[in-house]
Amino acid sequence: MKSKLKILMVYSEVAPFSKTGGLGDVGGSLPKALKDMGHDVRIITPQYQSINERRYILRDVIRLQNIGVSVGAETHQIHVKSAFLPDTKVQVYFIDYKPFFFRKGMYTDPKTGADYPDNAQRFALFSKGVLETLNRLHWQPDIIHCNDWQTGLIPYYLKTLYLGNPFFSQTSTLFTVHNFAFQGWFDAKNAAAIGFDTKNRSADSGLDANGGVNFLRLGIQSSDLLNTVSEKHAAEAQSSAEFGFGLEKLLRSRKKQFFGIANGIDTHVWNPETDKLIPHPYNFQRIPEKEGNKRALFERFGLPFKAGVPVIAMVTRMTGQKGMDLVRDAFGPIMALNGVFLLLGQGEEAYETFFKKAVKKYPGRVGVHLGFDESLAHLLIAGADIFLMPSRFEPCGLTQIYSLKYGTVPVVAPVGGLLDTVEPVKPRSERGTGFVLAAIDAKSLVAALKQAVKAFGDPRTWQRIQKNGMRKDFSWEASAKRYVQLYHKCLLLIKT
Ligand code: ADP
Ligand code: GLC
């Protein structure tokens, strides 16, 4: 068994360079953990406009200039730059193709909120660009670890266009699905534009019944092994359309090759003791110092500070996945619990409008910041008392884990990674790190919050719950080892 693997990790977002959600956090932290284990780990990601070239010292790589990549009838010349993941020796290659990636948004146009109409072309170019870059680099990875629909064509291309190519004959693929709801589903016109033969709809054409193409499906079908980001969600995704979004049957057909591995967290970035984005660092032995962050939080939202009042916070994409409809429907009873509600998020317009109105309806008690703000996310998670996450589905979820580490007690829905990471507080037990809704509805949401607010009123109980969470180990160590096991399993599949 090889002790040192060559691993290429492909992510459409890598924090701190680029991030719209948890995928970026994972892209910026799992590679580090694998590198620390001694593996040769490299990352390829798109170079978006928002990436600060000077700050992160992106350099041109002479032999990675002018690489011709064909997508459908067109050939595009890409360039590849390189940098290191901050404070590590993990090399990151950025695919620089301005017409596709130099835009205000990563996947959607911030002006309209709609997906870019050429996303199929953008991520087909990216996927093929990854393979062509490896070729130019003469670096033959043992594993290409792909993530989410944006990279789904890589395993597919390896099993079709690049099949028999000796350069990749010793390379296997692992495909990690972070979210089954985003599939990269494109119609026949788009499929044709990226080179699919839309007239041939045979079983191995890669096309679906309508002549369109689904990047996630192709990734799942073509990769050597698969996983999602918690054990619970791996079971859920196979169980019903509610969690598998139409891919449940396919997943069941691959169940022997489909695993669940929980995400870890970057303990350098999310650690209340060393966090540079919060004014008052603390740890589980100095919990009262957390209060300084609560004060700063009220100030940041322009609200009068109230001692002893529970602050309920959310940091989230404002979509159906995150249970925003439940929060909206239960908002009156939530506010009747006499806490303060603070939200940082962006997403669907209807929710944005609702929460803007709530600020006016409950003066001094509701704070809403619409937008994406990394430092405010840290301050909220540090300064709040209760973190609310009533997701309808949650493959893993990172914010509830960050909250646990910061002594901010999570109130979560009984799904996926939330169940795998939050241990319910039970009466007459010393254990428990948070509160879990009995069911996913507005009534259960209010009931769980009520329990949390009651516990908050008893400082001894509250500190015990906080400490239980803060002491848990959510570092990548255990999960990175599980990924290495999967990589070895992948290698065994290569026929020699
Ligand atoms: P998901 O990836 O489904 O959105 P996760 O809990 O895995 O959910 O990760 C969300 C990540 O995105 C966290 O790092 C969280 O702090 C961050 N985040 C979400 N919304 C915002 C926002 N509006 N501003 C800053 N960070 C945000
Ligand atoms: C997805 C999921 C989230 C997970 C994140 C990182 O965005 O919605 O549950 O934590 O990916 O894996």
pLDDT higher than threshold 60 for residue 57: yes
Helix-, strand-, coil-residue percentages of the chain, each rounded to 5: 40, 20, 40
Q: Which residues pair with 347 in a beta bridge?
A: 318
Place of tokens 């990563």: 106
Residue 114, both tokens: 């709609």
pLDDT at 171: 97
pLDDT higher than threshold 60 for residue 258: yes
Residue 358, both tokens: 């709530």
pLDDT higher than threshold 80 for residue 445: yes
Percent of the chain residues topping a pLDDT of 90: 94
The answer, yes or no, to whether any atom of ligand 2 lies below 6 A from the CB of 434, is no
CA of 409 to the centre of ligand 1 (A): 17
Residue ranges with strand state E in 303-364: 311-318, 340-347
**Taking a C-beta distance cutoff of 8 angstroms, is the pair 318, 347 a contact?**
yes
Give the mean model confidence (pLDDT) for residues 463-477.
97
Distances (CA, A) of 331 to 172, 325, 334, 361, 470: 49, 10, 5, 11, 29
Count of residues in the chain: 496
CA of 38 to the centre of ligand 1 (A): 29
Q: Among 201-215, 228-242, 244-258, name the one with the lowest average pLDDT.
A: 201-215
Ligand closest to CA 236: 2
Helix (H, G, I), strand (E, B) or coil at 27: helix
pLDDT higher than threshold 70 for residue 496: no
Q: Which residues contact 198 (CB under 8 A, 6 or more apart)?
A: 188, 191, 192, 207, 211
pLDDT at 156: 98
pLDDT at 114: 93
The answer, yes or no, to whether any atom of ligand 1 lies below 6 A from the CB of 316, is yes
pLDDT higher than threshold 80 for residue 264: yes
0.85 surpassed by pTM: yes
Q: Which helix (H) or strand (E) holds 420?
A: helix 416-421
The answer, yes or no, to whether any atom of ligand 1 lies below 6 A from the CB of 272, is no
Give the mean model confidence (pLDDT) for residues 274-282.
98
Give the mean model confidence (pLDDT) for residues 332-357.
97
The answer, yes or no, to whether any atom of ligand 1 lies below 6 A from the CB of 22, is yes
CA gap 241, 244 in Å, rounded: 5
CA of 19 to the centre of ligand 2 (A): 12
Q: Read off the pLDDT band of 495 (50, 70, 90).
A: low
pLDDT at 201: 83
Q: Which residues contact 14 (CB under 8 A, 6 or more apart)?
A: 24, 27, 28, 43, 45, 85, 92
Ligand closest to CA 314: 1
CA gap 417, 395 in Å, rounded: 5
Residue ranges with strand state E in 128-224: 143-147, 172-177, 185-186, 213-214
**Taking a C-beta distance cutoff of 8 angstroms, is the pair 108, 115 a contact?**
yes
Counting ligand 1 atoms within 8 A of each CB, the residue from 399, 401, 404, 474 with the most, and so the one to mutate, is: 399
Give the mean model confidence (pLDDT) for residues 479-492.
97
Alpha carbon 394 to its chain's center: 10
The answer, yes or no, to whether any atom of ligand 2 lies below 6 A from the CB of 21, is yes
pLDDT at 437: 98
Helix (H, G, I), strand (E, B) or coil at 380: helix
> Nearest residue CA, atom 5 of ligand 2?
22
Distances (CA, A) of 170 to 139, 164, 258, 337: 12, 11, 21, 60
In which region does residue 87 sit, left (phi positive, over 0), alpha (psi from -120 to 50) or beta (all else)? Answer: left
Preceding amide of 16 cis, omega within 30: yes
pLDDT higher than threshold 60 for residue 404: yes
**Taking a C-beta distance cutoff of 8 angstroms, is the pair 420, 414 a contact?**
no
Q: Read off the pLDDT band of 229 (50, 70, 90).
A: very high
Report the amino acid identity of residue 42.
Answer: R
Q: Which domains does the chain have, with CATH numbers?
A: 6-264+477-495 (3.40.50.2000), 287-474 (3.40.50.2000)
pLDDT higher than threshold 90 for residue 398: yes
Give the mean model confidence (pLDDT) for residues 150-178.
97
Give the mean model confidence (pLDDT) for residues 246-268.
97
Place of tokens 């939330």: 418
Q: Read off the pLDDT band of 2 (50, 70, 90).
A: confident
pLDDT higher than threshold 70 for residue 449: yes
pLDDT higher than threshold 60 for residue 5: yes
The answer, yes or no, to whether any atom of ligand 2 lies below 6 A from the CB of 22, is yes
pLDDT at 3: 86
Give the mean model confidence (pLDDT) for residues 303-324.
96
Q: Among 132-146, 197-211, 348-362, name the one with the lowest average pLDDT.
A: 197-211
CA gap 435, 413 in Å, rounded: 9
Give the mean model confidence (pLDDT) for residues 6-10.
98
pLDDT higher than threshold 90 for residue 232: yes
Q: Among 200-214, 291-305, 422-436, name the one with the lowest average pLDDT.
A: 200-214
61-97 burial string, b = 16+ CB within 10 Å, else e?
beebeebebebbeeebebbbbbbebbebebbbbbbbb
Q: What is the DSSP letter of 310?
A: P
**Taking a C-beta distance cutoff of 8 angstroms, is the pair 259, 238 a contact?**
no
Give the mean model confidence (pLDDT) for residues 465-472.
98
Ligand closest to CA 316: 1
DSSP assignments along 251-294, one per residue? HHHTGGGEEE----B-TTTS-TTT-TTSSS---TT-GGGGHHHH
Distances (CA, A) of 412 to 407, 415, 435, 465: 15, 8, 6, 15
The answer, yes or no, to whether any atom of ligand 2 lies below 6 A from the CB of 310, is no
